[in-house]
Structure 1
Amino acid sequence: MGRISGTTRLLAVLGDPIEQVRAPALVNPLLDRLGRDAVLVPVHVRPADLGEVVGGLRRIGNLDGLLVTVPHKIEICRYADELAPAAAFTGSSNALRREPDGRWRADNFDGVGFVRGLRARGHEPEGRRISLVGAGGAGTALAAALLENGAARLSVCDTDARRLHALLARLGERWPGRATGSAVPRVEDADIAVNATPLGMRADDPLPFDPSRVPPGGVVADIVMKPAETRLLRTAAALGRAVHHGIHTLDHQLECYAAYFGLAG
């Protein structure tokens, strides 16, 4: 990381917990390579404090943008002045930037990053049967991106019935007949089974679904980035299933962030 001075521009990533975030380790070297006088710092924000913290951050004159991780991706939209189409459709955001007029615009790159990561590893979502566990901020973005990129059928599971039904209603309006929901994971005929919940961040977390029920030849994917080898992925690999790690999503979000925050120009 380059020397920080009075001219340094700031970016912050908000989350609770925050220890698991990988964005600073990837974004700060990118800023150095691009010769940008900027730094991304992690900020631990508990849900009850989000509004107050974001209000204060917006008043920092040299803060250019925010990245957002669990559990704030849905709630953060309340504090944006404008929602890009992806954020408006999903109702969640993982990036906000300050516009030249001082307004804050929110967007969501979780879905595009996940799909690009899948394709880069040889896991094409088009025409596939996909099971997605988690209808929160990240899961909503992944669901929309997977259908947008040609998933033949999407089964979404979430224990929060109200949240699940709201997501299915939005998906059904845009992609009628291609998404179904359940309170328990349905992975028995999935070509790709995805954990889009925080389960796996802690060693004592239960498995989000049983990878032994994923058909041989299926892919088990996780959006958790730390630890890199979650219990789900270790178990799936031991069963002979192909696995897809969370870091691949962030790897492919970097180009989105660079364009969104004007870093590459």
Structure 2
Amino acid sequence: MALVSRFAQPISGSTSLVGVLGDPVRHSLSPVMHNAALKGLGLDWVYLALPTPAEHLGEVLRGLEAMDCRGLNVTLPHKQAVAALCRELSPLAERVGAVNTLVRLPNGGWLGDNTDVEGFLAPLRAGGSSWQGQRAVVLGCGGSARAVIAGLVELGCAAIQVAGRSSAHLEALLAPCRSWAKPLQGLQWTPSNRALQNALADADLVVNTTPVGMASATDPDAARRCPLSPGDLETLRPGSTVYDLIYTPRPTALLQNASARGCQSLDGLEMLVQQGAASLRLWSGLAEVPVTAMRQAALQQLKIEIKQGES
């Protein structure tokens, strides 16, 4: 007898599993977004958030493979560590050094791929602007920054400067990227750093890849924080674009401040939707998936969470 989930999809003994690994991951919009798409496609699959501590990542992957899991997304903090656990890597994932999508291989094991690059590029390309020869500043040097750098190279940016607070983490990011990201430079991110402020003043595009400003159930002040200081914000050039990969709250403190400066703003919700759609294409083998349904489901869930937070 089939059970009915909260996604209004029947779950039976033949239902296949897909999901997202992370720690924490219970806040993820991916389940509601993907389950809306799976319902629209009529696939007998269910997508779950699967909390996975770093020390158990390998065990979880082996267990899910044994369970015939159809595919997985990978989020923080595992995007780099999971690459070493893959049997194969796509050329893009190998170059970027970060994996956000796992696809089952016919002979066993996982193929690691990266759809974050496609997701990151989608809203920039949708705007109709040419980014060829433009200057970009990337805030942060984690796994998401690698995908952003790859996207900026694909766009043809003439200068890509990455700001990091830790010299060791910054160099660990830059070293493997220099061979394929020729315009890449590093910036030490310290308070009132004149070099960073000059870079922000010259930038056509500023991308925040840090979690600073993300809403948190355990920290009520988190959503009010901004990765840039007041002095840094004053250097943003009106007319430039500020892209925050965070999508909760909407808008983030960074995007509120950027809009007040006359900047164009983008948040990370469309990136989430587009990278998810790209992952679903890889798992299902389908050329077309219901992107509109995914976007609407994510937006609806955000509205519900905002109302819950206000009550």
TM-score by length of 1: 0.91
Question: Matches of 2:52 and 2:233 in 1, distance apart?
Answer: 33
Contact 2:25 2:51 in 1 (8 A): yes
1:50 has 2:57 as partner: yes
1:10 maps to 17
1:74 equivalent among 73, 80, 83: 80
Q: Secondary structure at the match of 2:102?
A: strand
Question: Matches of 2:39 and 2:10 in 1, distance apart?
Answer: 10
1:208 equivalent among 216, 224, 227: 227
2:153 maps to 147
One-letter code of the match for 1:187?
L
Question: Matches of 1:163 and 1:90 in 2, distance apart?
Answer: 15
In structure 1, list runs of 5 or more residues that go unmatched. none
Task: Evaluate the alpha carbon distance shift between residue 175 and residue 79 of structure 1 in structure 2; reply closer, same or farther with a 3 A threshold.
Answer: closer
1:246 equivalent among 250, 253, 268: 268
2:31 maps to 24
Contact 2:237 2:261 in 1 (8 A): no
One-letter code of the match for 2:245?
I
1:130 has 2:132 as partner: no
RMSD between superposed Cα atoms in Å: 1.9
Contact 2:93 2:99 in 1 (8 A): yes
In structure 2, list runs of 5 or more residues that go unmatched. 1-6, 190-195, 288-311
Question: Matches of 1:71 and 1:159 in 2, distance apart?
Answer: 18
2:193 maps to none
Task: Evaluate the alpha carbon distance shift between residue 225 and residue 51 of structure 1 in structure 2; reply closer, same or farther with a 3 A threshold.
Answer: farther
Which has more helix, going by share of residues?
A: 2
Q: Secondary structure at the match of 1:188?
A: helix
1:113 equivalent among 119, 124, 127: 119
Question: Matches of 2:262 and 2:74 in 1, distance apart?
Answer: 34
One-letter code of the match for 1:41?
L
Question: What are the Cα deviations for residues 200-238 of structure 1, in whole angstroms up to 9, with x where unaligned?
Answer: 223534422243321111111111133332221122223
Contact 1:154 1:179 in 2 (8 A): yes
Question: What are the Cα deviations for residues 79-106 of structure 1, in whole angstroms up to 9, with x where unaligned?
Answer: 2111111111111100001112122100
The farther-off stretch of 40-49 and 152-161 is 40-49
Q: How does 1:142-221 map to 2 (within 5 A)?
A: 142-176=148-182, 178-184=183-189, 185=196, 186-202=199-215, 203-205=220-222, 206-209=225-228, 210-221=232-243
Q: Percent identity?
A: 36
2:281 maps to 259
Question: Matches of 2:121 and 2:180 in 1, distance apart?
Answer: 19
Question: Matches of 1:192 and 1:19 in 2, distance apart?
Answer: 31
1:60 has 2:85 as partner: no
Task: Evaluate the alpha carbon distance shift between residue 131 and residue 211 of structure 1 in structure 2; reply closer, same or farther with a 3 A threshold.
Answer: same
Question: Matches of 1:68 and 1:123 in 2, distance apart?
Answer: 30
Structure showing greater radius of gyration is 2
The farther-off stretch of 47-56 and 142-151 is 47-56
TM superposition shift of 1:123? 4.7
Contact 1:95 1:106 in 2 (8 A): yes
